[in-house]
Amino acid sequence: MTAFQYRDGDLHAEDVSLSALTETIGTPFYCYASGAIEGAYTAMAAALSGLPAEICYALKANGNLAVVRTLAKLGAGADVVSEGEMRIALAAGVPAGKIVFAGVGKTAEEMAAGLNEGIQQFNVESLPEMETLSRVAVSLGRRAPIALRVNPDVDARTHAKISTGQAENKFGIDLDQIQDAVKLAMDLPGLSLEGLAVHIGSQLTELTPFRAAFEKLTALYRDLHGQGIPLRRLDFGGGLGIGYDGAAAPDLAAYAAIVRDCTAGLPAELVFEPGRFLVGDAGVLISRVLYVKQGTARRFVIIDAAMNDLIRPAMYDATHGFLPLRAPAPGTAEEAVDIVGPICESSDTFTRQRNLPPVAAGDLLAISSSGAYGAVMSSTYNGRRLVPEVLVRGGDRALVRARPSYAAMLAEMTLPDWLEQDQGARGAA
């Protein structure tokens, strides 16, 4: 059941009216439903129950402190890819011992920060990275716990831009170089080899690529075990998709069954790094219709949200759902429209030739399944302010990231001395 339902024709997030929220927050803004986040986490934990599984939420999907805290309170760990995400996870109350630091390009400073905090493990992706991590660890008098991220050369059958598990992708260590990486991990004084990791892509809706990847990873695990190299942990990454715009979602129980099959009898702890699955369906982007423009070829609905607020349609050809905040009368005839934002690019298009109940200037729309890779990928392109975020829980609501003022936006930039003197520039008399 979705957290976003009509009550007396008015779309609600849990018990909060979204149109009422627009009166205080303005538009556009993201709204997240705590219950939906908690429900997704609980469903995944239940599906994996009985396994020695740890769910490390991938903050890249939504790094809002309140969202991360919601998951931390349920016991989630964190998968982070930068010092910034690590700081958010720690601030949200995720214990350092439940943080996995992933990413193909960690800096020495980030490694030192992770080591000083005592995180659970670094997922390393190349031999040169291992050399650097060892050097940093030795300089701090520590040993870095690592998992080798394997590139299993498996096609995830998802969008090319979010496919990560094939030999032509930059991620992971190729299977035929793994023995070298294992040897290096044993030789380097600053590393402690604890596990293997895999992540083949995001928004997977077919489960067979997971099976193919997990089988390769567990075969490698057994092989190393046979060579007298017992490893403690297997990290199966994230990637489980959601059902955008009414499409079928992959079956969580079937995913868990694949995990059980592949790990039967293995003495390994398991790590999962879900992002989108935990937060994607828990968020909507609320926007107001500015104009409806009838062109000769198309009817355009111009809204006040844009590709800088939600880049997924422009970047991945993603299809999100659209819900008017006021339910249309039953039987209202639909019309084909293009929903576009105000940014000066044709890619600022949320959907093309889509049948929707008629909308007029001033109407409000919710863009569904925007909880993952929405606000985190927003920018200030076209001088637009970062989009605010609201979290609801039952009838409670909280602004969990405010819309910056224009003064704050300007204050981020400074003028060099030689321009300050110019007539009319900020600070000039």
Contact flag: residue 274 with ligand LLP (CB under 6 A)? yes
Find the binder of ligand LLP among 27, 64, 121, 203 (CB under 6 A).
203
Find the binder of ligand LLP among 145, 195, 239, 313 (CB under 6 A).
239
Choose the stretch contacting ligand LLP; rule: CB under 6 A; options: 67-75, 196-204, 301-309, 414-422: 196-204
Find the binder of ligand LLP among 316, 326, 357, 358 (CB under 6 A).
316
Smallest distance, ligand LLP to C-beta of residue 242, A: 9
Order the strands of the 16-17 sheet from edge to edge.
4-7, 10-13, 16-17
Find the binder of ligand LLP among 14, 38, 79, 281 (CB under 6 A).
79
Name which of 62, 83, 162 is nearest 376 in CA terms: 62
Residue list 339-378, contact with ligand LLP (CB under 6 A): 372-373
Find the binder of ligand LLP among 273, 309, 348, 389 (CB under 6 A).
273
Using CA atoms, how far residue 429 sits from 14, 421, 426, in Å, is 53, 9, 9
Name which of 371, 374, 301, 313 is nearest 342 in CA terms: 301
Closer residue to ligand LLP in complex, CB, 312/401: 312
365 and 286 Cβ atoms separated by less than 8 Å:
yes
Choose the stretch contacting ligand LLP; rule: CB under 6 A; options: 113-121, 206-214, 224-232, 238-246: 238-246
Closer residue to ligand LLP in complex, CB, 236/322: 236
Dmax over CA atoms of the chain, in Å, equals 77
Closer residue to ligand LLP in complex, CB, 19/205: 205
Choose the stretch contacting ligand LLP; rule: CB under 6 A; options: 197-205, 321-329, 332-340, 417-425: 197-205
Name which of 54, 60, 59, 61 is nearest 69 in CA terms: 59
- Helical spans, DSSP H, in 140-271: 178-187, 208-226, 252-263
Using CA atoms, how far residue 143 sits from 10, 110, 127, 178, 191, in Å, is 56, 15, 16, 20, 5
Closer residue to ligand LLP in complex, CB, 58/68: 58
Closer residue to ligand LLP in complex, CB, 60/106: 60
Q: Which residues on adjacent β-strands are paired with residue 323?
A: 366
Contact flag: residue 202 with ligand LLP (CB under 6 A)? yes
Distance between the two ends of the chain, CA-based, in angstroms? 60
- Can you tell me the distance from the alpha carbon of 363 to that of 244, in angstroms, rounded to the nearest whole number? 23
Find the binder of ligand LLP among 43, 140, 162, 207 (CB under 6 A).
162
* Residue in the block written with tokens 């069954």: 257
**Strand residues in 215-298 grouped as ranges (E):** 233-235, 269-272, 283-294
Smallest distance, ligand LLP to C-beta of residue 255, A: 11
- Can you tell me the distance from the alpha carbon of 135 to that of 189, in angstroms, rounded to the nearest whole number? 8
Size of the site for ligand LLP (CB under 6 A): 23
Residue list 55-74, contact with ligand LLP (CB under 6 A): 58, 60-61
Establish whether 262 is a catalytic residue. no
Residues that bind ligand LLP (CB under 6 A): 58, 60-61, 79, 102, 162, 164, 199, 202-203, 237-240, 273-277, 312, 316, 372-373
List the catalytic residues. 344
